[in-house]
A and B are shown apart, each in its own frame.
Chain A
Amino acid sequence: MAADSTLALSLVEEFVSGLQDSKAKDAAKGVKDGKFTVLQLVEALGSSLTSSQPPTRARGVLLLSEVLQECYRELTEREVEVLIAFYENRLKDHYVVTPPVLKGLKELTKCTNLPPGSAVSMLRSVFQDIHVQSLMLSERACVYSMLINIMETREAELKGLGADFVFGFVQSMDGERDPRNLLLAFQIAKNLIHRGYELGKFTEELFEVTSCYFPIDFSPPPNDPHGITREELVQALRAVLTGTPNFAEFLLPLLIEKLDSDVQSAKLDSLQTLAACVSQYEHKHVAEFLQGLWTAVRREVFQTSSERIESAGLAALTALTSCLSRSVLSSDSEDSLSTFLDFILTDCKHHLCEPDLKLVWPSAKLLQAACSASTSASHIITAAVMPSLLEQYNNRAQCSHRRTLLEVVQRFIHSVKNCQSSDNDESVFLAFRESLCGVVFSALSENNSSLQITATSVLTSLAQQAGLLLESDIELALDHLTRLLLIEEDDRVSLAVVECAGALAQLHPALVISKLIPRLKNEMYTEPMNQDQGEASELHSHHAVRQRCLSALAAVSIQPSVVQESTPVLLEVLRSAHTGDVSFSVDEVVLTCRSLQRIAEQVQDTEEAGRCFHNIIIPHLLSLALQAALQGEGSSGTPSPLVEEVVLSAMVPVISTSCSRLQPTLAGQTASRAVSLFLDGDVSFLPDNSFPSHMQLLKKQEGDSWSLSRLVCLLMGSVCSLPRSVEVPQIDKLLSALEEMSCTCSHPLSYTSAAKCFAGLVNKKPQGDSLDSLIQRTVKRVCSELDSPSSSVHTQAFTLMIWVSKALLLRYHPLFTTLTDKLFSLLDDARLGPMAAADGFSLLMSDSTDVLNRACHADVRIMYRQRFFSENKAKLVQGFNAAPQEKKPNYLKALSNIVNKLPKQVQVTELPALLSLLLEALSCPDQDIHLTTLSCLEPVLVNPPQVLIQQLEALVNRLLALLCSPAMSVRIASLSCISALSYFPVHEVLPFRARVLRALAKPLDDKKRLVRREAVQARAQWFLLGSPGGR
């Protein structure tokens, strides 16, 4: 022990007299390791603590405090007691000793085993002996942290102190200026309020000492290391001010006063604080300030200068109203809600009836804000406002006024919807049902499109009010909607009508099934009248009607029960289009497929819907496509529209959406049926059984006929969009058949679809040897085809290669690199046709719509584009430099295709390295390259990097040269780039002004209007450059 006490002594000596700060650590280690106790350390400190020099005493205490910082956890209760007594005593010492004393006390407050009563005594001595605000910043922080620590552990004892504690705190934070300390102080104040400390007679003091910071006006210095934001302070202060209803009598007048301020942020803060505080209050707290608050909020909304303030004002009004409504149950309070609503109604209602409807919107917004607060408020307000609104509507003659009124009505219904969702009382609008319906229906029959559109949205809102509309109303509404669908030419109206029908179908499926669908069905099958002399315009309008019917059928099919009724109509359209019973144009057939696709996208994923799609729709589609293909092979006469490629391509998404979205088990069944159909010719599941047996859909067809082979795209739709958990049967056989087909078939849609299908399957195939060997086999085959000079299937092999590369790129497969190397070498290959390989890169980088995307459950890793780019940019640049002159454009095009698809942030950072190449691309002869390169450049020009400015001369030259490009889109793009250049730093671009203005005179006389428009804009910008009054 003796040795240890000498150790302590020597450490003390070195720390206090030797001023070696590191010795504190050693001392703490000594205590931790049990070499000596804290009390022994205090003994060792003896001489320095009794020194006559205050700095020496301070140094001594500092050593002890730093040791405590390290090992406050190991102290016994007895030690803590002694130390606290020691520190309390030291507080009375010289002021230079105070900082380390406070530090020590703070460490002690972290101890879990504070002896009872010590916290209180510690606080008493701090409050008594220290004037907090005359301390330095870090010591003040020390005091606040002490308070926070004790409040965490010794709540009961502190509450025993009563209001004295609050008083002590108020005194110590009074005048605090540092934002870091304010955050701590606000936290203490918040704890005081939220944890139920007794504020007693110091309520007002506590409010005063915190509210003097309201509204917070603080902008952090630049490069602030502490990272305190204004928002943090605002939130912390707001939590204090709004914490207790006891502050109401002080806070509300303050808010009213601050709302009058000219500073926008003060207004906003006040309104938000108001909304926050009233959620704690009862009516009695706000009663006497209602008039003032209303006047202030009204002023902000009526004379609003910013949208944020307006919406904050409206939110505050809603909060205030709901505060008043909450206490309606108690005795005399009914008054305060109705008094307040009376204020609002007297000030706002008359604006709704002014002849010029000038202040109608702000008034309506205020009323609606109050309305949305509670059911009782909405009852009072709607009862007062609705009759006059509806009367107004009937009295006005001008359509624009009527529309405004109708929009106001719609907002009212909408605002009520928010507060009614939970309780199931009858609708507020029940009393006005009849007149509302009357107004809506009359607006729907009006001959004004914007009025009709508004009416449909009112109708939607009305229908969403539970239990408001009667069945007969809905029927009448559906009649109106059907009529509009059939006769109204305006696209916006029919869009609104279709949307409204969709909303009604969601709520009233049965009525839609019985009323709307039969009418639409009827309309679909009527042939255009007097077809023989049928004029073009009539045919056109008939087509438009069918188009609207199709989109309406799609829109209403959300509930499975409606889908059961609507999809047969659509299938029947396809069937009769195929047989020729009713004539449908190819366009209409495509639209029918789109409607089916939309239904598959939006229908609820239930067993019922799944069965409908997987057991009925898909087999029908396959069967119809197969029939059409077989028929197309042999017969003459008018071909069925279903042999068209657009129709086939439109069927694919129907199948793929249902396989990816609806009922995985059923989707698996569909896929296995499709596989057995295509591999084995198994037609048993198709509804029509007149097919020849043993069809070989994936084998090379006789005479290279492609009408059957291209059906492979339908196979792709089903097997490539399954969730990854569902297994595809006979996958190996399928893969080799697809590979064979994609390498041998000569019909573009067939071999492309086969390649895509192959790629889609490869993308999802689990990692492993079988996958690797499959890829290697395919790559070998593809490469040998591409390398053989006599091969007739170059394009096919290339297509397969691109798609397989894409499949591997998306999943980060390691074998991808072998393919990229091949791809780069093909940039030099002339046989693929000009630029084919370069265009391949565009395909590689863009999202594909039908396979290999996330909707199809493909394995797509994030940022695969960036990865590809960063791994290959060096190769590309190298290849460009090495290539002979006539091949260089290929590389430039590949580069601009890749860069074009990168996210903008990456483009901006990568640009400097590639700039010279891109500039090169602007001067090569291919127009497509110009366009892709310009579209890469344009976003970068908004915020030009330094490299670009250095190359300005070259850039301007090339852009001006492109103004004479024969392609309109290139001219427009280069003009908009030139226009963007005018925003560069003035001293950089000013030298070019005269030249650019002269060059821009020519496109002013361009023969295309779009070019002229862009030229005018660019030239006007350049004129303003550097001239007085301009920029």
Chain B
Amino acid sequence: LKLHLIRSINDPEHPLSLEELNVVEQVRVKVNDAESTVGIEFTPTIPHCSMATLIGLSIKVKLLRSLPDRFKIDVCITPGTHASEEAVNKQLADKERVAAALENASLLEVVNQCLSTRSI
């Protein structure tokens, strides 16, 4: 169970962690060790949260860095909790777009800030 990896990621707009904001929860984390898959659903704080993509990206990056590369990582929004759910899910699932986003220095900076302020 990998919640402990992402629980301490900071929200880009709040001084609180994702777990404290109930963005990620234990029940919405699915790990299948045998098939090497991890699925995470996160719940943005409000349906129009503009940071949803960024939060998803942070979670994805954190997991990429923390899990062995045999895992396929799937991050998406909890169904029915965000206005542009599908678009965000699509972005997060697209490997190329994630890689491209991480090439972007300013985006990477924000992600790193989310991941760095507090250690586990």
Q: From residue B29, how far is it (CB to closest CB) to chain A in Å?
A: 15
Interface stretch of the complex, out of B43-51, B61-69, B81-89, B90-98: B61-69
Complex Cα gap A1028–B67 (Å): 22
A1017/B112 contact (C-beta < 8 A), A1004-B68, A1005-B70 known? no
Q: Are the CB atoms of B116 and A1031 closer together than 8 Å?
A: yes
List B contacts of A1005 (CB < 8 A): 68, 70
Q: Are the CB atoms of B112 and A1001 closer together than 8 Å?
A: no
A196 within 8 A of B: no
Q: From residue A124, how far is it (CB to closest CB) to chain B in Å?
A: 65
Q: Are the CB atoms of B65 and A1027 closer together than 8 Å?
A: no
Q: Are the CB atoms of A1020 and B70 closer together than 8 Å?
A: no
Q: Are the CB atoms of B115 and A1020 closer together than 8 Å?
A: yes
B111 within 8 A of A: yes
List A contacts of B68 (CB < 8 A): 1001-1002, 1004-1005
**5 interchain residue pairs of minimum CB distance:** A1029-B109, A1029-B112, A1005-B68, A1028-B109, A1016-B66
Residue of B nearest to A1000 (CB): B65
A1030 within 8 A of B: yes
Taking a contact as CB atoms closer than 8 A, the residue among B62, B112, B120 that contacts A1027 in the complex is B112
Complex Cα gap A1028–B113 (Å): 9
Complex Cα gap A1030–B114 (Å): 10
A1023 within 8 A of B: yes
A1017/B5 contact (C-beta < 8 A), A1005-B68, A1023-B65, A1028-B108 known? no
Q: Which residues 993-1031 in A have Cβ within 8 Å of B in the complex? A: 1001-1002, 1004-1005, 1013, 1016-1017, 1019-1020, 1023-1024, 1027-1031
List A contacts of B110 (CB < 8 A): 1029
Complex Cα gap A1017–B115 (Å): 11
List B contacts of A1004 (CB < 8 A): 66-68
Chain B interface residue count, CB cutoff 8 Å, equals: 21
Complex Cα gap A1024–B112 (Å): 7
Q: From residue A665, how far is it (CB to closest CB) to chain B in Å?
A: 58
A1019/B65 contact (C-beta < 8 A), A1005-B70, A1028-B105, A1028-B106 known? yes
Complex Cα gap A1029–B70 (Å): 28
Q: Are the CB atoms of B112 and A1030 closer together than 8 Å?
A: yes
Besides A1004-B67, A1027-B108, 17 other A-B contacts (C-beta < 8 A): A1001-B68, A1002-B68, A1005-B70, A1013-B4, A1013-B120, A1016-B66, A1019-B65, A1019-B66, A1020-B62, A1020-B65, A1020-B119, A1023-B112, A1024-B112, A1028-B105, A1029-B111, A1029-B116, A1030-B116
A1017/B120 contact (C-beta < 8 A), A1023-B65, A1029-B111 known? yes
Q: From residue A379, how far is it (CB to closest CB) to chain B in Å?
A: 43
Residue ranges of A at the interface with B (Cβ–Cβ < 8 Å): 1001-1002, 1004-1005, 1013, 1016-1017, 1019-1020, 1023-1024, 1027-1031
Task: State the majority secondary structure of interface residues on B.
Answer: helix
List A contacts of B67 (CB < 8 A): 1004
Q: From residue A826, how far is it (CB to closest CB) to chain B in Å?
A: 46
A1029/B120 contact (C-beta < 8 A), A1016-B5, A1019-B65 known? no
Complex Cα gap A1016–B3 (Å): 13
Complex Cα gap A567–B40 (Å): 60
Complex Cα gap A1020–B4 (Å): 14
Residue ranges of B at the interface with A (Cβ–Cβ < 8 Å): 4-5, 62, 65-70, 105-106, 108-113, 115-116, 119-120
A sample of 11 inter-chain contacts (CB < 8 A) reads: A1004-B68, A1005-B70, A1013-B120, A1016-B5, A1017-B119, A1017-B120, A1023-B112, A1023-B115, A1029-B108, A1029-B110, A1030-B116
Q: From residue A971, how far is it (CB to closest CB) to chain B in Å?
A: 15
List B contacts of A1017 (CB < 8 A): 119-120
Q: Are the CB atoms of A1016 and B120 closer together than 8 Å?
A: yes
Q: From residue B1, how far is it (CB to closest CB) to chain A in Å?
A: 10
Q: From residue A949, how far is it (CB to closest CB) to chain B in Å?
A: 24
Complex Cα gap A480–B109 (Å): 59
List B contacts of A1020 (CB < 8 A): 62, 65-66, 115, 119
Complex Cα gap A1030–B109 (Å): 7
Complex Cα gap A446–B116 (Å): 43
For A1005, A1024, A1029, the residue with the greatest tally of chain B CB atoms inside 10 Å of its CB is A1029
List A contacts of B112 (CB < 8 A): 1023-1024, 1027-1030
Q: From residue B62, how far is it (CB to closest CB) to chain A in Å?
A: 8
Residue of A nearest to B116 (CB): A1024
Complex Cα gap A441–B5 (Å): 43
Complex Cα gap A12–B67 (Å): 89
Residue of B nearest to A1003 (CB): B68
List B contacts of A1019 (CB < 8 A): 65-66
Complex Cα gap A1013–B4 (Å): 9
Residue of A nearest to B112 (CB): A1029
Complex Cα gap A1013–B62 (Å): 13
List A contacts of B106 (CB < 8 A): 1028
Complex Cα gap A221–B110 (Å): 38
Q: From residue B59, how far is it (CB to closest CB) to chain A in Å?
A: 13
Complex Cα gap A1017–B4 (Å): 11
Complex Cα gap A254–B110 (Å): 46
List A contacts of B5 (CB < 8 A): 1016
List B contacts of A1023 (CB < 8 A): 65, 112, 115
Q: From residue A520, how far is it (CB to closest CB) to chain B in Å?
A: 42
Complex Cα gap A3–B5 (Å): 97
Complex Cα gap A1020–B119 (Å): 9
Complex Cα gap A728–B66 (Å): 64
Residue of A nearest to B119 (CB): A1017
List B contacts of A1027 (CB < 8 A): 108, 112
Residue of A nearest to B62 (CB): A1020
Q: From residue B109, how far is it (CB to closest CB) to chain A in Å?
A: 3
Q: From residue A975, how far is it (CB to closest CB) to chain B in Å?
A: 13
Q: Are the CB atoms of B113 and A1029 closer together than 8 Å?
A: yes
Residue of A nearest to B106 (CB): A1028
Complex Cα gap A1004–B71 (Å): 11
Complex Cα gap A1013–B112 (Å): 19
List B contacts of A1029 (CB < 8 A): 108-113, 116
Q: From residue B30, how far is it (CB to closest CB) to chain A in Å?
A: 19
Residue of A nearest to B102 (CB): A1027
